[in-house]
Amino acid sequence: MDTASTEPLPPWWQEVHDAARLLASTLNAAVVRAARDGVYTPPPGALPPKRRRQPASLRHLAEVIRSQRLAPGLSVDKDDVAAVLAGEPRRIANPVLVAAVARAAHQIAGVPFTDDDADRLTAGSAHIAALHEAARQADEKAPSTVPVRDEPAEAPVVDAPVTARRPRKRWPLAVGVVGSVVLAGVGAFFVVDGRKDEVADGRKGAQLIAADAECGLGATGDDVITDTPALFDDDQATRLSPTLDFDQMNGSARYARHDGRTYYWGRAGSDDHDPHAGGARIRWSTPDGRWRSCATALARTERGYVHTPAVATTIGGQPITVQICLWRDEPRRENCTQEISNGR
């Protein structure tokens, strides 16, 4: 089933995706815990990394699965792990792969993974596999369940003499035309008025964005890291789900550890076949509620990703709240995460 389609899913496929998302949320919770509490350890026999690696990253999970042989008969890479955590139905319907990802996350976090845990996840994965097969069969049967449209019967031809009638005044038709014109005028009034409201809402949103203070206000030292790619690797970071993608824009929020602190940042890109200008920004506020905004613009000609500054979750000894947003210039649209407060 093509999940990229904008058309509503048939009920049998909706059931598959709902079950997949539910199981994926359980796995993601284990991965988040591993990223928070775990430590990166290179595979046996491998050289220590030149730079600090993020525990429980996609690459780390795949390394643990391969080195510990947690998925017998499978060659698992970070893309496989990403597909499972994203709830991709075909991958998450593989019980061996699902159990391997969960077991790797528990090992990294240093918490036990019991046989009962494995049985529950395996049963959930097998259930998704059964739903997937049932949905596939339902797709095959669907055309035969749609009633065939009957062809309209031809109107009978009546062989009767033609009788000339005196034309009548058609006042109802004239009134109907006048009424249509009046209603069209009223409709046009409401459409224009609605557009005025939409423009007003857009201006209000722009005013709210402009109300944010300058990015580094109140920050010192390495509270805000402006050159994010120099210190952080997107592939080694933990990506928040869901992404910020919309229309032609691609973006996400991520976090990683550096020198004992957690940093959040965002990135923005645009489709190659239909590029648009826009950007990403990270907003942060201290407990007094004053928001700052750190934005990075994306040019229409940029074919890679641009990154916002990375902001630590504690500034001046106080926990802060962050929010990451992806925007498009024309037509203007912005998609943001929820406000994230942790202070780790």
CATH of the domain at 284: 2.60.40
CA dihedral 118, 119, 121, 124 (to 10 degrees): 170
Report the distance separating Cα 41 and Cα 188, nearest Å: 66
Q: Is residue 18 part of a domain?
A: yes
Q: Is the peptide bond before 331 cis (omega within 30 degrees of 0)?
A: yes
CB 40 within 8 A of CB 51: no
Final residue in a domain of this structure, among 92, 116, 141 = 141
Final residue in a domain of this structure, among 88, 120, 141 = 141
How many of the other CB atoms lie within 10 Å of CB of 298? 26
Answer yes or no: do 30 and 121 share one domain: yes
Report the distance separating Cα 196 and Cα 154, nearest Å: 51
Q: What is the pLDDT of residue 7?
A: 57
Query: In terms of residue numbers, what domain contains 73?
Result: 11-141
Residues 6+ apart with CB under 8 A from 94: 74, 125, 129
Cα distances (angstroms) measured from residue 237 to each of 53, 83, 89, 240: 9, 16, 24, 10
Final residue in a domain of this structure, among 141, 173, 204 = 141
Q: Is residue 169 part of a domain?
A: no
Q: Is residue 161 part of a domain?
A: no
Residues 6+ apart with CB under 8 A from 166: none
Q: Give me the number of domains the chain comprises.
A: 2
pLDDT per position as a tens digit, 230-289: 999 998 899 888 788 888 899 999 999 998 899 999 999 998 888 999 999 999 998 888
Global confidence as pTM = 0.45
Q: What is the pLDDT of residue 294?
A: 94
CB 308 within 8 A of CB 325: no
Answer yes or no: do 135 and 37 share one domain: yes
Report the distance separating Cα 306 and Cα 50, nearest Å: 24
What is the residue-level pLDDT of the chain in tens, covering all 344 positions? 544 444 577 888 889 888 988 998 899 999 999 999 999 888 888 777 766 778 888 889 999 999 999 999 998 998 889 889 988 888 999 999 999 999 999 999 999 999 999 999 999 999 999 998 998 888 887 655 444 444 444 443 333 333 333 444 443 433 343 333 333 343 333 233 333 333 333 333 333 444 688 898 989 999 999 999 999 999 889 988 878 888 889 999 999 999 889 999 999 999 888 899 999 999 999 888 889 999 999 999 998 899 999 999 999 888 999 999 999 999 999 999 988 886 54
Answer yes or no: do 134 and 255 share one domain: no
Q: What is the pLDDT of residue 139?
A: 83
Q: Is 260 helix (H, G, I), strand (E, B) or coil?
A: coil
Q: Is residue 135 part of a domain?
A: yes
